[in-house]
Amino acid sequence: MTLSNSSATDFSILRLGGTTSSFPALKRNSTGIDVRLADDSAYAPLNASSLLGTGAITAWNTTAIPAGGTTGTGYRFSSTSNFGVFFGSGAPTLSAAKGSLYLRSDGTGTTDRMYVNTDGSTGWAAVTTASDIGEVEDKAVA
């Protein structure tokens, strides 16, 4: 099945159920597909129980790295609100679920590259990382 315009020269968007922002659509983007609102005003959410692929999965590729992170912007898991992996520059200031991770784009030392949420709000603790692979020690697991 091929979808095309009336001239059979192009195809841009497949609207599902309507033409307003209340409906989703699939939009051709060069060789890729975007999930958009049917009026093409913004991206629409995509929910899936699994994602399979042989290449990289990219999220928020049109979003600049935010200072302190942005609640809800990252990889989120499960039905727990804002549980996942978030990103930003500078120390985290966003609110996230306890146990969530924050990856810092501008960390330069062993205690400012990654953080874990400690309280289910804006409390974050730095995770100590090695500066290079030469500093990692082999340790037996008890």
For the chain, which residues make up each domain, given as ranges? 10-47, 50-142
Q: Are 64 and 58 in contact (CB under 8 A)?
A: no
> pLDDT tier at 127 (50, 70, 90 boundaries)?
very high
d(CA 64, CA 113): 18
pLDDT at 2: 85
d(CA 81, CA 105): 24
pLDDT in tens, 3-61: 888 888 888 899 999 999 999 999 998 888 889 999 999 888 887 777 777 777 777 77
Show the 3-state SS of the chain.
CCCCCCCCCCCCEEECCCCCCCCEEEEEECCEEEEEECCCCCECCCCCCCCCCCCCCCCCCCCCCCECCCCCCEEECCCCCCCEEEEEECCCCCCCCCCCEEEECCCCCCCCCEEEECCCCCCEEEECCCCCHHHCCCCCCC
Residues 6+ apart with CB under 8 A from 18: 38
pTM of the model: 0.64
| Matching residue, tokens 């929910």 | 47
| Matching residue, tokens 């590259």 | 113
